[in-house]
């Protein structure tokens, strides 16, 4: 929360304590919250008259996945026999680990929802089948289209045709849910701008289904406290809304001064499912399954052998996968994964990637032994959820992806990173980002101390950004007058290499920052 917003919130509390007036937006929020029904109960009742309901999957929070995992059986009992999804839940997902500050990437909560849906499909197969259908299965890929909007229009046309054909061939009383990214659910045609400034008509899935089904179709957005533009009102919304509730379109208009960037969406949907708190979920590789670990080791062996199955993938994506997977195997197994990404010229070479992975497999994948049982850290899933949430609140995404000035985020970022480090000290990414922020904001003594703690940890030799860390540490040493140490660290930053010749500027930063190039992190590495 910004200082201005904190002051506003404190002032509001003092006014209320002194008998002062509640602001107009807060009054509207209180009125809406008082009458907003429970979302699950409302949906069950809606299916008495509705054929198909769209629910926005935000791609950022796990609220929707948790909601469906908890209530899908009740929706089945209300007549839902199909759920149409944007991705193929039944496919064996190729597991890509994600860094803890990222908003993209697989979450454990995604797996919970997937298992709930597929279990329902399995247990009803012989009686009254429920089906999970990937609405775009078989669709063409984006390279076949002139621009992103044309591809999105094609995808939504394809999905609409799949949904309509499926329901036409279903029994008349069968109901359906759709779980898709929010922009797909918009119920109007609108202009979308291309990078060159040209306008293209966007015809979403929601519009196509509304045209076909009329009043039998409704589209629901999904928002939580994170989507509210004003921090003081977000705090109020969290106080008012304790669980998933429904805010209908007739009321959502009153929230236009609350929803910030979502304010233009209020006319696009029939209503919203809302929760007070954003639940970001737990990044899958912080509660790794045996399947996750087996995929990483299999991928790294294929990568080391230059397996032709990966030839069609860009080199930078393959390098990014190598760099991030090595870090997490080292985090999980320590010395059992006897490998370092970075090497010093003239130093002993050490084990190759292929040797290190095969030796790890021989030990960790032995008969009657689950690989996940040998992981060196032992925390509850709830602790890992808190850790991932704390890393989000470090605001690194705003720095790395959106270019927010580092001076604006340094105070909350450092506090969040310190809290995250206390929860899970084995993961040294919080330590790195603390040192990075301190260096960039002139706290050189603190930055150098944290960098030196980082360098003392063997895990740092499997960090994708180790050369950058030495470069930044050299800056700290120079600013503190230790020219000898500055030269040592700078020389290391320029001489480190890895056996796979993976370039961090083209590899891990494409993962760490959501596949964006030329951003703050990439520029920092180049400087």
- For the ranges 55-64, 463-472, 498-507, the lowest mean pLDDT is seen at 498-507
- For the ranges 90-94, 145-149, 476-480, the lowest mean pLDDT is seen at 90-94
Q: What is the pLDDT of residues 228-247, one digit of tens each?
A: 666 777 788 888 888 899 98
Question: Which is nearest to 334 in space by CA: 301, 363, 294?
Answer: 363
Torsion of CA 40, 45, 46, 51, to 10 degrees: 110
Question: Which is nearest to 84 in space by CA: 8, 31, 155, 2?
Answer: 155
Distance CA 435, CA 445 (A): 10
Which CATH number is associated with domain 283-527?
Answer: 1.25.40.10
The structure tokens listed for 369 are: 């032994």
Q: What is the pLDDT of residue 184?
A: 94
- 268 within 8 A of 221, measured Cβ to Cβ: yes
Per-residue pLDDT averaged across 407-420, rounded? Answer: 94
Domain range list for the chain: 3-274, 283-527
The structure tokens listed for 62 are: 């796990």
Q: Name residue 54's beta-bridge partners.
A: 178, 219
Listed in order, strand segments (DSSP E) in 259-336 are 271-274
DSSP 231-280: HHHHHHHHHH--S-EEEEHHHHGGGTTTSGGGGGGGGTSSEEEE-SS---
Q: What is the pLDDT of residue 166?
A: 97
Q: Is the pLDDT of residue 379 over 60?
A: yes
Task: Identify the band that residue 58 occupies on the pLDDT scale cut at 50, 70 and 90.
Answer: confident
Q: Is the pLDDT of residue 4 over 50?
A: no
Please indicate whether residue 63 or residue 255 has the higher confidence score (pLDDT).
Answer: 63
Residue 177 is classified by DSSP as: E
Q: What is the pLDDT of residue 366?
A: 78
The structure tokens listed for 357 are: 């992975």
Question: Which is nearest to 171 in space by CA: 134, 201, 108, 129?
Answer: 129
Question: Which is nearest to 36 in space by CA: 301, 314, 223, 182?
Answer: 223
- 86 within 8 A of 57, measured Cβ to Cβ: yes
Per-residue pLDDT averaged across 266-277, rounded? Answer: 83
Burial of residue 255, with CB atoms counted within 10 A of its CB: 0-12 exposed, 13-18 middle, 19 or more buried: buried
Q: Is the pLDDT of residue 254 over 70?
A: no
Distances in Å between the Cα of 296 and the Cα atoms of 132, 302, 303, 329 are 27, 10, 10, 8
Q: SS3 letters for 32-97?
A: HHHHCCEHHHHHHHHCCCCCEEEEEECCCCCHHHHHHHHHHHHHHHCCEEEEEECCCCCCCCCCCC
């Amino acid at each position: 929360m910004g200082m201005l917003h904190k002051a506003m919130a404190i002032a509001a509390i003092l006014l209320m304590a002194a008998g002062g007036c509640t602001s107009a937006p807060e009054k509207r929020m209180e009125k809406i919250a008082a009458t907003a029904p429970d979302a699950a109960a409302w949906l069950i009742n809606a299916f008495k008259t509705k054929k198909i309901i769209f629910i926005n999957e935000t791609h950022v929070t796990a609220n929707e996945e948790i909601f469906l995992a908890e209530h899908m059986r009740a929706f089945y009992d209300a007549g839902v026999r199909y759920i149409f999804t944007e991705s193929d839940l039944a496919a064996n997902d190729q597991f890509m680990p994600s860094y803890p500050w990222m908003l993209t990437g697989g979450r454990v909560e995604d797996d919970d929802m997937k298992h709930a849906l597929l279990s329902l499909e399995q247990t009803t197969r012989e009686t009254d089948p429920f089906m999970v259908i990937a609405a775009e299965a078989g669709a063409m890929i984006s390279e076949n289209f002139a621009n992103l909007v044309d591809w999105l229009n094609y995808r939504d046309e394809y999905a609409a045709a799949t949904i309509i054909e499926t329901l036409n061939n279903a029994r008349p009383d069968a109901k359906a849910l759709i779980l898709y990214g929010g922009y797909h659910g918009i119920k109007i045609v609108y202009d979308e701008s291309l990078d060159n400034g040209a306008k293209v008509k966007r015809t979403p899935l929601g519009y196509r289904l509304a045209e076909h089904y009329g009043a039998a179709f409704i589209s629901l957005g999904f928002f939580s406290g994170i989507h509210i533009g004003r921090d003081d009102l977000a705090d109020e919304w969290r106080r008012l809304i304790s669980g998933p509730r429904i805010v209908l379109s007739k009321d959502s208009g009153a929230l236009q001064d609350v929803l910030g960037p979502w304010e233009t969406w209020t006319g696009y949907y029939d209503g919203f499912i809302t929760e007070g708190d954003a639940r970001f979920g737990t990044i899958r590789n912080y509660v790794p399954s045996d399947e996750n670990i087996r995929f990483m080791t299999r991928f790294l062996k294929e990568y080391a052998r230059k397996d032709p199955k990966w030839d069609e993938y860009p080199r930078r994506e393959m390098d990014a996968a190598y760099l991030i997977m090595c870090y997490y195997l080292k985090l999980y197994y320590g010395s059992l994964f006897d490998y370092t990404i970075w090497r010093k010229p003239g130093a002993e070479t050490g084990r190759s990637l292929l040797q290190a992975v095969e030796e790890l497999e021989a030990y960790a994948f032995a008969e009657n032994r689950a690989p996940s049982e040998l992981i060196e850290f032992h925390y509850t899933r709830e602790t890992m959820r808190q850790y991932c949430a704390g890393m989000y609140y470090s605001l690194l995404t705003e720095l790395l992806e959106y270019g927010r000035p580092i001076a604006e985020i340094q105070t909350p970022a450092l506090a969040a990173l310190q809290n995250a480090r206390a929860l899970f000290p084995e993961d040294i990414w919080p330590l790195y980002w603390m040192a990075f922020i301190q260096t960039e904001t002139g706290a050189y003594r603190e930055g150098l101390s944290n960098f030196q703690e980082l360098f003392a940890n063997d895990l740092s030799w499997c960090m994708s950004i180790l050369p950058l860390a030495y470069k930044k540490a050299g800056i700290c040493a120079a600013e503190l007058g230790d020219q000898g140490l500055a030269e040592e660290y700078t020389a290391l930053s320029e001489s480190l290499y890895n056996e796979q010749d993976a370039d961090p500027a083209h590899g891990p930063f494409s993962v760490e920052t959501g596949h964006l190039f030329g951003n703050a992190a990439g520029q920092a590495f180049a400087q």
